[in-house]
Structures are given as structure tokens and as C-alpha cells.
Amino acid sequence: MAMIETPAGAHVPGDADAPGLSERDRAMLAFEREWWKLPGAKEAAIKERFGLTSTQYYQQLNKLADTEAALAADPLLVKRIQRRRAGRRRTV
């Protein structure tokens, strides 16, 4: 399994107030918040950090975005993920 790292200096808002999130969950939220600052393609970074395909990553991220713990940890990010997902569903 690939080592999970968060971007240097990344902070998960409300992290201490969000019981129920695993280290991997927190790492995924931190990555999703900061990925655009990293060099290279997002897909390559997903594979390197999480050992997942893009499809697997987005499946897990969407499942995570539906949890109360993720919403408590980072409401702005989770709402953004949910809005993007709802927008894609409307266009399909």
C-alpha cells in the first residue's frame, strides 16, 4: 500500500473536532483541497499518494463527502464536492 502524505503544511480544518475520520480520510480531504498547488497531473499524484486509480479515488472521495464527519471537518470543501457531483448528475 502506498504511503499517505498530505501536502507540506496542509491543515485539515476542524480536524480535532471530527471524530470518525481515519488518517486516510483526512489525507484525502487535504489532498483534494491542495492538489492544484502540486506539480504534475492530479491523476499521477493520486496514484502516488494513495495507490488508487482516479476512478477508485473519486468513488472513495464521493463516499467520504456523504459522511457527517467529513462535513464537520471541512464543510466548504465537502459542499463543493457535493455541488460538483450534483452538477455532473444534472448534465448526464
pLDDT band at 4 (very low <50, low <70, confident <90, very high): very low
Per-residue confidence (pLDDT) for residue 89, from 0 to 100: 73
Q: List, for residues 11-43, the tens digit of each pLDDT value.
A: 444 444 457 899 999 999 999 999 988 888 999
Whether 3 shows a pLDDT value over 90: the answer reads no
Asked, for residue 70, whether it belongs to a domain, the answer is yes
Characterise 43 by phi-psi region: left (phi > 0), alpha (psi -120 to 50), beta (else). Answer: alpha
Q: How many domains does the chain have?
A: 1
Asked, for residue 44, whether it belongs to a domain, the answer is yes
pTM over 0.85: no
Q: List, for residues 30-88, the tens digit of each pLDDT value.
A: 999 999 888 889 999 999 999 999 999 999 999 999 999 999 999 999 999 999 998 77
Domain residues for the domain of 85 are 23-89
C-beta of residue 58 within 8 angstroms of C-beta of residue 31: no
Per-residue confidence (pLDDT) for residue 33, from 0 to 100: 94
Asked, for residue 47, whether it belongs to a domain, the answer is yes
Asked, for residue 48, whether it belongs to a domain, the answer is yes
Q: In Å, how far are 1, 11, 38 from 72, measured between CA atoms?
A: 28, 14, 25
Q: 32, 66, 65: which is closest to 49 by C-alpha?
A: 32
